């Protein structure tokens, strides 16, 4: 019988956002720190977490209570889901979102990520991988949320990042020069994806030399926030952007950190520029709160909703239309596959005959390499060999990739990095299995209650 | 010669037969734990695979609806049209792109203490 652990959470405290200093350690003013903490009273010092940490942020040795160096922590939560004693805790916005749901004036938007629809069932006794799309929509609406699927925003990410990739191909590989391509001239190959916030923070702390290589396109959630507060507010929901409260539902704990980054208030800046909100409005973030898959299950439980008992029927709405490319974002290799489907179409002028690019899928390999031939319609059918790589889990494979590109900078064109092995489906915000996630547990004769 | 101590020959404490016995037991223990650990890793991988399978099933469902790649999403097209922009257009650049990546290695240095 599969069962899931209860993970303890704590609300953000008054000093979670730091003081008035512009920089503090590796944090900027306003950024959330201490999202993942180890409970010092219950940690037995088994050392399991350290082998899962991609940045060696956990201090302590065998038998001594461990602690996390917050300056090195990327908040990915891999230690949390792999702790055999469930003593690692997560910052949570459940209370804040519950209060907003009660407030009639606020238009609360739920923004659920791809990987949540295959894991939410587990919190209610379902099988891993059970697909709950319409059931989840219905449950969220019953809880008082308005729907906006992240998968739809993921399609925006592909259009933006795919266009960026094509411009880079034209500028760097085909030698085209035009004012339109000028701004990719300082973004050389290899091109790294930017959808994984733990990877972005990892690069910022440990590999700042890679910053020009990382895509400037935001992650799907951070595209969803500004679109909800500008486009959807005006053209779909007809609401005042100041009343909109966007709560994302993610499989990830690093997204909690990402949402607190101070530059992510694009909607506020845009609306002020266009004069749609008064000039003296106080700045608001694009994403107001980030809930993990476990947090949303907690809200459902508090409200007495079981998503598995919900109806499977849901009317088609503008904000929930998405493509297959958007949904596979949750898997390792998915962003790559989705981007290549669109890039192939734009470069060759025709759709891929078989859209399932299995060579890039990160099922069990730690590091996947592939060459994708793309015929170029503007060059009389000349074939471009796009060399791609997928890093499935940053703790081991990032080093290998970096070694490869220092030795041969032409080895890859496009690299997807996912911090968590398997991709977002195995993220730090997902339901934690008593059997399976932890390595120690199945060895014990009796179920362990922690 | 009553209290004279005679050291036992090694073979008396640990005979060849005992050595083989102990060796056999140890091999069995190592092999069984090894098997148990690979089993756990497999199970851990299997629930990741099950979740991945779920998403690929969703992909198949979308492909049957003729929604395979992002450029086929009609809602995306509508949003660009409404905002009067295009991918990497001026407004899209403002809302959907960032250039705020920070070299945080050096932020550590800025916060360094000097006693």
Q: ipTM of the predicted structure?
A: 0.85
CB pairs under 8 A between A and B: 236
Chain B residues with CB under 8 Å of A425 CB are 48, 51-52, 55
The predicted structure's pLDDT at residue A450: 37
Tokens standing for A265? 């208030």
Chain B residues with CB under 8 Å of A266 CB are 94-96, 98
Instruction: Compare all CA atoms of chain B with the CA of A354 and give the residue at the minimum distance.
Output: B68
CA distance A25 to chain B (A): 5
Given a contact cutoff of 8 angstroms between Cβ atoms, the answer to whether A55 and A73 are in contact is yes
Tokens standing for A234? 């005006």
Instruction: Compare all CA atoms of chain A with the CA of B63 and give the residue at the minimum distance.
Output: A324
Q: HSE of B79 in the Cβ direction (CA atoms, 13 Å)?
A: 34
Do residue B70 and residue A341 have CB atoms under 8 angstroms apart?
Answer: yes
Q: HSE of A360 in the Cβ direction (CA atoms, 13 Å)?
A: 28
Do residue A443 and residue B103 have CB atoms under 8 angstroms apart?
Answer: no
3-state SS assignment for residue B40: helix
Q: Which helix (H) or strand (E) holds B95?
A: helix B90-96
Q: Is B108 exposed, middle or buried (0-12, 13-18, 19+ CB in 10 A)?
A: middle
Do residue B96 and residue A263 have CB atoms under 8 angstroms apart?
Answer: no
Count of other CB atoms within 10 angstroms of residue A433:
19
Using alpha carbons, select from A303, A40, A25, A346 the residue that is nearest to residue B70. A346
Tokens standing for B73? 């999403």
Strands A244-250 and A289-292: parallel
Helix axes of A150-168 and B74-82: crossing angle, nearest 10 degrees = 70
Chain A residues with CB under 8 Å of B71 CB are 158-159, 162, 342, 345-346
The predicted structure's pLDDT at residue B17: 77
For tokens 């500008």, what's the residue?
Answer: A230
Residues of chain B with pLDDT under 50: none
The predicted structure's pLDDT at residue B84: 86
Catalogue the active-site residues of A. Answer: 161, 164, 195, 215, 255, 258, 263, 424
Chain B residues with CB under 8 Å of A167 CB are 88
Instruction: Compare all CA atoms of chain A with the CA of B42 and give the residue at the minimum distance.
Output: A436
Do residue A338 and residue B101 have CB atoms under 8 angstroms apart?
Answer: no
Instruction: Compare all CA atoms of chain A with the CA of B33 and give the residue at the minimum distance.
Output: A443
The predicted structure's pLDDT at residue A128: 85
Going residue by residue through chain A (450 aa), what tens digit of pLDDT does each one get?
Answer: 457 888 889 999 888 888 887 788 888 888 898 899 998 888 888 888 888 888 888 988 887 888 899 888 999 998 898 888 888 999 999 999 999 999 889 999 999 999 999 999 988 988 888 889 999 999 999 999 999 999 999 999 999 998 888 888 888 888 888 888 888 888 888 899 999 999 999 998 888 888 888 998 999 999 999 999 999 988 888 988 889 999 999 999 999 999 999 889 999 999 888 888 888 888 899 999 999 999 999 999 999 999 999 888 888 888 888 998 889 988 888 898 899 888 888 888 888 888 777 777 866 677 888 888 888 888 887 888 889 988 888 877 888 888 888 888 788 899 998 888 888 988 899 988 765 444 544 454 444 443
Rg of chain B over all Cα atoms, to the nearest angstrom: 34
The predicted structure's pLDDT at residue A178: 86
CA distance A368 to chain B (A): 16
Given a contact cutoff of 8 angstroms between Cβ atoms, the answer to whether B102 and A357 are in contact is no
Q: Tell me how far apart the alpha carbons of residues A163 and A183 are, in angstroms, rounded to a whole number.
A: 13
Tokens standing for A373? 């031939």
Given a contact cutoff of 8 angstroms between Cβ atoms, the answer to whether A101 and A143 are in contact is yes
- Among the partner residues B50, B71, B102, nearest to A28 by beta-carbon distance: B102
Given a contact cutoff of 8 angstroms between Cβ atoms, the answer to whether A97 and A246 are in contact is no
Q: Tell me how far apart the alpha carbons of residues B40 and A435 are, in angstroms, rounded to a whole number.
A: 9
Do residue B44 and residue A436 have CB atoms under 8 angstroms apart?
Answer: yes
Do residue A436 and residue B95 have CB atoms under 8 angstroms apart?
Answer: no
CA distance B31 to chain A (A): 15
pTM, to two decimals: 0.85
- Among the partner residues B39, B70, B74, nearest to A338 by beta-carbon distance: B70
3-state SS assignment for residue A166: helix
Kindly report the backbone phi and psi dihedral angles of residue A314, in degrees, each rounded to the nearest multiple of 5, phi listed first.
-150, 130
Q: Is A241 exposed, middle or buried (0-12, 13-18, 19+ CB in 10 A)?
A: buried
Question: Which residue of A150, A318, A331 to mutate against B (max B Cβ within 10 Å)?
Answer: A331
Instruction: Compare all CA atoms of chain B with the CA of A154 and give the residue at the minimum distance.
Output: B70
CA distance A38 to chain B (A): 22
Q: Which helix (H) or strand (E) holds A390?
A: strand A383-392
Do residue A325 and residue B69 have CB atoms under 8 angstroms apart?
Answer: yes
Using alpha carbons, select from A330, A395, A317 the residue that is nearest to residue A361. A330
For tokens 């900078």, what's the residue?
Answer: A409
Range list of H helices, A179-323: 197-206, 220-227, 254-259, 266-274, 293-303
């Amino acid at each position: 019988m599969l069962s899931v652990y209860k993970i303890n959470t704590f609300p953000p405290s008054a000093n979670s956002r730091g003081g008035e200093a512009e920089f503090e350690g590796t944090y900027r003013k306003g950024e959330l720190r201490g999202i993942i903490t180890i409970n010092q009273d219950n940690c037995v010092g088994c050392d399991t977490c350290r082998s899962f940490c991609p940045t060696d942020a956990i201090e302590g040795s065998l038998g001594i209570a461990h602690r996390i160096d917050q300056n090195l922590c990327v908040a990915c939560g891999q230690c949390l889901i792999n702790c055999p004693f469930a003593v690692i805790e997560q910052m949570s916005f459940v209370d804040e979102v519950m209060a907003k749901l009660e407030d009639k004036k606020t238009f609360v938007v739920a923004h659920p990520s791809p990987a949540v629809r295959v894991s939410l069932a587990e919190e209610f006794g379902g099988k891993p991988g059970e697909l709950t799309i319409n059931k989840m929509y219905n449950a969220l609406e019953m809880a008082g949320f308005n729907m906006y699927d992240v998968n739809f925003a993921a399609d925006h990410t592909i259009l933006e990042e795919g266009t960026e990739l094509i411009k880079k191909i034209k500028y760097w590989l085909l030698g085209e020069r035009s004012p339109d391509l000028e701004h990719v001239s300082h973004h050389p190959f290899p091109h790294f994806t930017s959808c994984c916030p733990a990877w972005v923070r990892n690069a910022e702390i440990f590999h700042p030399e890679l910053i020009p290589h990382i895509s400037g396109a935001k992650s799907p959630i951070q595209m969803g926030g500004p679109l909800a507060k500008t486009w959807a507010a005006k053209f779909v929901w007809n609401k005042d952007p100041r009343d909109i409260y966007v709560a994302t539902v993610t499989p990830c704990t690093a997204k909690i950190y990402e949402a607190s980054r101070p530059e992510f208030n694009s909607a506020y800046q845009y609306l002020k520029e266009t004069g749609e909100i008064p000039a003296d409005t106080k700045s608001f973030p694009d994403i107001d709160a980030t809930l993990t898959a476990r947090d949303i299950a907690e809200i459902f439980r508090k409200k007495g909703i079981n998503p598995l008992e919900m109806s499977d029927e849901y009317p088609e709405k503008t904000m929930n239309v998405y493509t297959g490319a958007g949904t596979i974002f949750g898997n390792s290799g998915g962003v790559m596959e989705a981007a290549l489907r669109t890039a192939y179409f734009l470069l060759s002028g025709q759709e891929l005959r078989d859209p399932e690019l299995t060579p890039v899928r990160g099922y069990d390999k730690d590091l996947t390499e592939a060459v994708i031939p793309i015929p170029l319609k503007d060059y009389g059918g000349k074939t471009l060999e796009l060399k791609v790589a997928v890093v499935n889990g940053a703790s081991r494979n990032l080093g290998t990739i970096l070694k490869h590109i220092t030795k041969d900078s032409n080895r890859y064109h496009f690299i997807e990095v996912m911090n968590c092995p398997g991709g977002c489906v195995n993220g730090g915000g997902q339901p934690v299995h008593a059997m399976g996630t932890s390595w120690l547990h199945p060895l014990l004769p009796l179920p362990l209650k922690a | 010669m009553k209290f004279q101590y005679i050291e036992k020959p090694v073979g008396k404490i640990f005979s060849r037969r005992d050595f083989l016995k102990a060796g056999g037991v140890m091999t069995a223990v190592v092999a069984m734990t090894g098997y148990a650990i690979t089993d756990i890793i497999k199970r851990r991988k299997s629930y990741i695979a099950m979740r991945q399978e779920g998403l690929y099933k969703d992909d198949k469902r979308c492909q049957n609806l003729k929604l395979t790649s992002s450029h086929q999403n009609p809602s995306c097209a509508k949003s660009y049209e409404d905002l009067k922009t295009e991918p990497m257009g001026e407004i899209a650049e403002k809302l959907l792109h960032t250039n705020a990546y920070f070299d945080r290695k050096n932020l550590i240095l800025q916060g360094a203490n000097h006693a």
